[in-house]
Structure 1
Amino acid sequence: MEEEKPEQGHYIKIKRFPFIIMIFALVFITAAVTTLTLAFGDEKAVEVGAPARSEFNKLYEAYDKIQTKYYEEVDQESLVNGAINGMIESLGDPYSDYMNEEEASEFHEDVSSSFQGIGAEIQEKDGFIMVVSPIKGSPAEKAGLQPNDMILSVDGKSIQGMSASEAVLLIRGEKGTKVKLEVQKSGTEKTQEVTIVRDEIPIETVYAEMGGNGIAHVQVTSFSEHTAEELRTALAAMEKEGMKGLVLDLRQNPGGLLDQAIEMANMFVPEGKNIMQIQSGGETKAYQAEGGEKITVPTAVLIDKGSASASEILAAALSESAGIPLIGEKSFGKGTVQSAEDFSDQSNLKLTTAKWLTPNGTWIHEKGIKPDTAVALPDYASLTYINPESELKLESLSDEVKTAEQMLEALGYAPGKVDGYFDEETESAVEEFQEASELEANGVLTGASTTKLMENLRLKLEENDTQLKKAAQAVQAKIK
């Protein structure tokens, strides 16, 4: 039996679908034998093959009626796909999905290579497409997309009611092309248009740098096919640089392959202790750490509302079985396991097949993991995106103007009253900002000026990362 693996952003992937293929084969063989029997009158032959499934009679009748009585010609493949989609939708599970060949190809691409798009993990929830987390350094992150933002339309086309796989096909596209999203920011009822230029999204998942006092900062952005190997390489490099402590950063990490999370947890968790538990069909199986060399330097783990699935598995394992503190914000809360399996035509069925539990047996689904030390980022970290195509100038009045005023204020400029009205003080602040940025000082916020404003705010946030600073302090306190 093949090992189950989770796909990028919460899913578990199995590369073949032998059992389902066998069932379909038996059904088709049975149908053929039945047809021949009716033609030649041998009633005993009807018993050959798979037994009749009376529960499918209504489905067959509906299929036949549509094929024979619908006023237009109907594509047989579309009917079958629609029937499968209907069964999946009836489960009411946002993590189960049927994907046609094109959608399945995108699905497999996520964990095996780079892809072209905006770089955001999404899910369907209650008929809407929600952002789980943007990928580090991606166009989606730079555009300000955040966990739980709702995407309402893509290039003017409503995606309400679509599956996540269907929405992905519209959002992705060639590098350099633009996609316009209508976004409802988390916690608000207002919508805004966000234009994002697609780019190549590499599946490089581990970023490491040595900070002060010998404390390494290692960020894991997703769990792809080689993430555990990347982490091992990164830690070896940090050890050569004299690593005395470690901050493992799982913020904005939407998850990925389960085997990678287990392998990574095994680098920290003492032999014999639980890494996680899988609960399915009334049975619970514990995965325990194996022997081998362990990371023993003082460590802290960063999590936030964008840390989901495999990120939560790793965080919980290190917290409960290795005594490593969690710092930041409560995690996303995704505690189910999906098995993704291919049909012979390369379409794919992804089903929730199990729950995963923390080492101590806690199910964190829709609850998340609370950090040991709660630390918020500065208020300006949650400011929304300003469309560079907008032209904000004297006497403009809008929410984007208010956001721009907040950004200017956070960067040390004086835009006057932060009220969404672009007055003379706002114009003066914009001019001052433009001069400092070596841009044309015309007092109009658009294009390069808008992009530079948002870029400078991101850089300020990196310099004033309160969560990272707190984690480094916690590690420093344990260094002997």
Structure 2
Amino acid sequence: MLKKRTVVYLMVIAMLTGGLLTMAFTQLPNLADSGASSGEGLLASMKKGGLEQDEAKKIGTALDLIEGNYYEDVNRDKLIDGAINGMLDSLGDPYSNYMSKVPAAQFEESIEGSFSGIGAEVTSVDGNVEIVSPIKGSPADKAGLRAKDIILSVNGESLQGMDLNKAVSKIKGPKGSEAVLKIKRAGSPEPLEFVITRDNVDLETVTATMDSNKIGFIEISQFSLNTGDRFKEELKKLEQEGMEGLVIDVRNNPGGVLDVVIDIAEQFVPKGELIVQVEDKNKNRKKYTSDGDSKPYPIAVLMNKGSASASEILAGALQQSAGAVLVGENTFGKGTVQTSFEKQFGDGSLIKVTIAKWLTPDGSWIHEKGIEPDIKVAQPAYFSVAPIDKKKTLKYDMNNADVKSAQIMLDALGHKPGRKDGYFDRSTEKAVKSFQKSQKLKADGIVNAKTAEAMETALIEKIRDPKNDNQLNRGLTEVRQEIAAEASKK
């Protein structure tokens, strides 16, 4: 069983708001033998190879002093957990962390690819909870959360400076409950508020279609345990239907299982060519080469700043070893490897520590830099418009960020406000009335909660229409051009 193994994780982020999720793993038997054996617990681990006698005495003395002198009763388990968290925090590495029994159990359960929450991958950056990527189709995705958004508070409780495990516990909750998030977003002068209803998030990680030009499209939302098999199934179907070119979409894909991404890359990378390299602290490199074969058709990979970890491995491998073209935006930039130990503590808790970095086939380390696309393509401005605060009513002569969002939405929906600078003039009022009439709402030119919700619903429908997806359309165009170029040579 998976839970009985020591595994290595290529983490985009250790946490999902509805649970904890591996970003990638592969079994390393030598790591399973390091430290204490299963069931020995923390003390045995310390005695065998962790703390020297004077170090153990110092920590024990601190524990005694706190328990004996603190003016209130203390929880000994919390003190021990705090000491472990403190050691990991001192590394300054957001991907090395400790999970007590309950978060660790959620972490292991989420490996199966299903959890309850808002559905957004998060990490800790300078004491802030930052979104790596909302999961496609999740409540967070539908509400409009974006990569790099910072979650300031949940239901009025500040998350700033909070331990990531604790912050995640505040964000998650049972299906049907509400999470009111205050979000700091680059370019927005004031915090944004999102009211999100938590739900079960089941990850159908692979979807595939074919267009009339025989160009296949496969979207991978996450590299989870069954993704490799699902990808092979869909790829085989497309090829049997006469596919002549392929677009692979890993936008807003936060990562996944290392073995799975290697398996997928092998479908396209020629045998013996590099897929990824993993380098440890002693500069020793393990090179993962393909045991598969190349394809006769052109391939484009769509990516953005929410594409991280295993997504970046796939993009780098297909670009450098399979001749694929990368289209879209710069990726997230997650290039380190973590190992997870759960047996050593013996109480259901676990610890993850960064033990290596991964490199692209040409030896590049993309950490905190990401992978640049071959063809840079931005989405329309309305794809990233901030939601409107439903507690406010917008009307003539107001000037603020919510008015600007409303103007961007109106313009995208064909009700031209004449400006998008945040000032609610008569032209904006006229555009609001036009939209309200189209939705059979009271045409008073005032943006109340009902009008704002209708605008956002209409905009989401427009965003989901493939014809408005600049990156997808450019990827399809590139593949079509390559098909035509090959045909002209024959």
Give the TM-score, by structure 1 length: 0.89
CA displacement at 1:375 relative to structure 2: 1.2
Residue 111 of structure 1 pairs with residue 115 of structure 2: no
Partner of residue 433, structure 2:
431
Partner of residue 286, structure 1:
287
Partner of residue 39, structure 1:
none
Secondary structure of 2:133's partner?
Answer: strand
Change (3 A) 1:136 1:23: closer
Residues 289-327 of structure 1: CA deviation (Å, up to 9, x unaligned): 013x65432111111111110100110011111111111
CA displacement at 1:388 relative to structure 2: 3.9
Alignment of 1:193-204 (within 5 A): 193-204=193-204
Residues 217-237 of structure 1: CA deviation (Å, up to 9, x unaligned): 211111111111121122123
Alignment of 1:334-353 (within 5 A): 334-342=334-342, 343-353=345-355
Partner of residue 406, structure 1:
408
Change (3 A) 1:26 1:185: closer
Partner of residue 473, structure 2:
469
- More off after superposition, 76-85 vs 334-343: 334-343
- Matches of 1:379 and 1:166, distance apart in 2: 35
Residues 442-463 of structure 1: CA deviation (Å, up to 9, x unaligned): 4343444323322332333332
CA displacement at 1:2 relative to structure 2: 5.3
Partner of residue 169, structure 1:
169
CA displacement at 1:408 relative to structure 2: 0.3
Change (3 A) 1:176 1:440: farther
- Matches of 1:114 and 1:363, distance apart in 2: 31
Secondary structure of 1:213's partner?
Answer: coil
CA displacement at 1:334 relative to structure 2: 0.7
Residues 27-59 of structure 1: CA deviation (Å, up to 9, x unaligned): 756999xxxxxxxxxxxxxxx999953333321
Secondary structure of 1:112's partner?
Answer: coil
Partner of residue 22, structure 1:
37
Residues 70-129 of structure 1: CA deviation (Å, up to 9, x unaligned): 222221111110100000000000111111122223322333132221111110011111
Change (3 A) 1:108 1:391: farther
Partner of residue 245, structure 2:
245
Partner of residue 44, structure 1:
none
Change (3 A) 1:80 1:430: same
Work out whether residues 12 and 308 of structure 2, in 8 Å CA contact, stay in contact via their aligned partners in 1. no
Which letter does structure 2 place at the counterpart of 1:336?
T
Partner of residue 259, structure 1:
259
Change (3 A) 1:75 1:268: same
Give the alignment partner of residue 356 of structure 1, picking from 340, 355, 358.
Answer: 358
- More off after superposition, 194-203 vs 277-286: 194-203
Residue 225 of structure 1 pairs with residue 229 of structure 2: no
Alignment of 1:68-87 (within 5 A): 68-87=68-87
List alignment gaps of at least 5 residues for structure 1: 33-47
Which letter does structure 2 place at the counterpart of 1:56?
A
Secondary structure of 1:123's partner?
Answer: strand
Aligned length: 464
Work out whether residues 123 and 130 of structure 2, in 8 Å CA contact, stay in contact via their aligned partners in 1. yes
Change (3 A) 1:14 1:341: farther
Secondary structure of 2:213's partner?
Answer: helix
- Matches of 2:103 and 2:45, distance apart in 1: 31
Work out whether residues 7 and 111 of structure 1, in 8 Å CA contact, stay in contact via their aligned partners in 2. no
Partner of residue 298, structure 1:
298
Partner of residue 458, structure 1:
460
Which letter does structure 2 place at the counterpart of 1:134?
P
- Matches of 2:330 and 2:249, distance apart in 1: 14
- Matches of 1:375 and 1:51, distance apart in 2: 52
Change (3 A) 1:401 1:236: same
Which letter does structure 2 place at the counterpart of 1:174?
P
Give the TM-score, by structure 2 length: 0.87
- Matches of 1:115 and 1:49, distance apart in 2: 37
- More off after superposition, 249-258 vs 338-347: 338-347
- Matches of 2:370 and 2:229, distance apart in 1: 27
Residues 249-289 of structure 1: CA deviation (Å, up to 9, x unaligned): 11111112111111111111111111100001311110010
Change (3 A) 1:189 1:100: farther
- Matches of 1:305 and 1:8, distance apart in 2: 12
CA displacement at 1:188 relative to structure 2: 4.4
Pick the structure with greater CA Rg. 1
Which letter does structure 1 place at the counterpart of 2:475?
A
- Matches of 1:126 and 1:267, distance apart in 2: 39
Work out whether residues 251 and 306 of structure 2, in 8 Å CA contact, stay in contact via their aligned partners in 1. yes
Residues 400-442 of structure 1: CA deviation (Å, up to 9, x unaligned): 1111011101221122443424344333322321332344544
Secondary structure of 1:365's partner?
Answer: coil
Partner of residue 19, structure 2:
none
Change (3 A) 1:356 1:376: same
Residues 15-35 of structure 1: CA deviation (Å, up to 9, x unaligned): 997755439838756999xxx
Which letter does structure 2 place at the counterpart of 1:169?
S
Partner of residue 20, structure 2:
none
